[in-house]
Structure 1
Amino acid sequence: MERCLAASGTGSSLDAAVALFHSLSDGTRLAIARRLAGGEARVADLVGELGLAQSTVSAHVACLRDCGLVVGRPQGRQVFYSLARPELLDLLAAAETLLAATGAAVALCPNYGTDATTNTEKEVPR
């Protein structure tokens, strides 16, 4: 599995935005962020709720943490994760509003929609 990487050192705000949206582009990472919007959780909680392997959930939480979107609060032998910034709640809410406004248009997108191929070599029309 790929690890999240911060934007390249170009200093471009566009690069940072690309890194932000890339960090949320994976369905599991987005599900974790949405779950953490409701309150903190341990990896074990997320495993139970998402039905995924512990190693998978841990890797995705680490990606979100590396990107500065999630923070951990150690308590004894456990770590409770939460969203690092309340602005992420605003971004998730704005995404829900946009999806409601566009209806099925995003899901039908030939490049990124639910039926799009997962071939990363696919060229996107400009």
Structure 2
Amino acid sequence: MAIDSDGGRCVSADIAAGISPAAALFHSLADETRLRIVQRLARGEARVVDLTAELGLAQSTVSKHLACLRDCDLVDYRAEGRQSFYSLTRPELMDLLASAEHLLAATGHAVVLCPVHVTQQGSAEAQGMS
């Protein structure tokens, strides 16, 4: 799942194209901004204004990434008056991320040196996508 540049929504074209739901899940978490939002929401609910201040991001950026996470059913919100308070819908997501951190520590963060990752990252940067 990736952010659609037009609507800022998380799209399920990956699944429709035959990519497994697991791969789509990891793709939705492959963005550093979305991971930062998830990590912040793990500490408790927050409004967009809170996230923009704490993460140093533009309101539009935070809103687009929250929309993606909502489309993936990883985040939801509750309305209170004119404010929306976002929170994680699946606390076990933090277990998954903790396991990933454990794996990275055990491998010496070897993924950073993985030729496939570097090639894809370089390709994305060359196209202005990262």
Correspondence 1:70 to 2:75: yes
Q: CA deviation at 1:85?
A: 0.9
2-structure distance, mates of 1:104, 1:8: 29
Alignment of 1:16-95 (within 5 A): 16-95=21-100
Dislocated runs of 4+, deviation >6 Å = none
Unaligned runs of 5+ in 1: 122-126
Cα 1:40–1:118 change in 2 (3 A) is farther
CA RMSD of superposed structures (Å): 2.3
- SS at 1:68 equivalent: coil
| 2:15 matched residue in structure 1 | 8
Number of aligned pairs? 118
Cα 1:96–1:104 change in 2 (3 A) is closer
Unaligned runs of 5+ in 2: none
1-structure distance, mates of 2:125, 2:49: 31
Question: Which of 100-109 and 71-80 deviates more?
Answer: 100-109
Is contact 1:109-1:116 (8 Å) kept?
no
Correspondence 1:110 to 2:115: yes
Q: CA deviation at 1:103?
A: 1.3
| 1:124 matched residue in structure 2 | none
Cα 1:120–1:48 change in 2 (3 A) is closer
Aligned-residue sequence identity (percent) comes to: 61
Q: CA deviation at 1:111?
A: 2.6
TM-score where L is the length of structure 1: 0.82
